[in-house]
Amino acid sequence: MSTARRPQIYHCEVVHRRLRPLRRAFRYRVFMLDVDPDALDGVARNCRGLSHNRFNLFSIRDADHIDLGLPGGIRPNLAAWLADRGRTLAPEDSLRLLTFPSCLGYGFNPVSFHYITPADGSPPYAVAEVVNTFREMKLYLVEPGANGAPAARMPKNFYVSPFSDPGDDFDFRLGIPDAGWRVRIDNLDSGGLVLTSAIRGSAVPLTSGRLLWCAVKYPLLSVKIISLIHWHALKMWLARVPFFRKSERREAQTEVLRPHGNTREPK
């Protein structure tokens, strides 16, 4: 099993810019936790206000992440998913999860990132875990790019927003978390860039005091995130931006975990 890392808080700015069919941009401040999934029980014991799989001010729940029905939490489920794609997650490989914690029992993670650093010294890779407002989940394996950081363009094949085609592409550029951290995810169609999303964060060690300050600085974190998503979707709808109904593009929604009724194959 990987050696536990010191957990961190990333104070982040999230920026979304839409370029077509009309230009829109918004940004907001949030925080994310950077933790070793294998050490979550110990992290929670040492940090007041944080729990693992239990109610608290903030909590990280295994069920909010990849769950293929295997016992043992995040690592064995992620390892099984990776094995199906030709990747081996060895016990000695380092694993870190960057995610939004649940707040007062309510959680919504639009995106989380599993970073894997192989023990053999090869470059780190990542699995991006994207969740839509139907609570469906899609995972994307992002291999190391030319500069050694995870980067790849691939079909989206997921209903993320009614204002982007599930058949578009995602272009992931995932920085390696350090004192600073940057992520960019572009949505592209046949005509080029449609929407870009970015996260820029700076790290501080996770302590009880800092986590409690996050509750003041970012009140009701999960409610804030889901509310902003719906608020900006409403503004897009009022601007008469064309949209896709989820049931219209079922063929472009593949390998979806926790599928909603409009995604499941008909019997």
**Distance from chain centroid for Cα 22:** 26
Q: For the segment 21-69, what is each residue's pLDDT rounded down to a tens digit? A: 888 888 999 999 999 999 999 999 999 999 999 999 999 999 999 999 9
Rounded mean pLDDT of 223-228? Answer: 84
Instruction: Over range 205-212, report the average pLDDT.
Output: 97
**Whether the model pTM is above 0.95:** no
> Which amino acid appears at position 235 of this protein?
K
Is residue 263's pLDDT more than 90? no
Encode pLDDT of 90-123 as tens digits. Answer: 999 999 999 999 999 988 899 999 999 999 999 9
Confidence of residue 1 (pLDDT cuts 50, 70, 90): very low
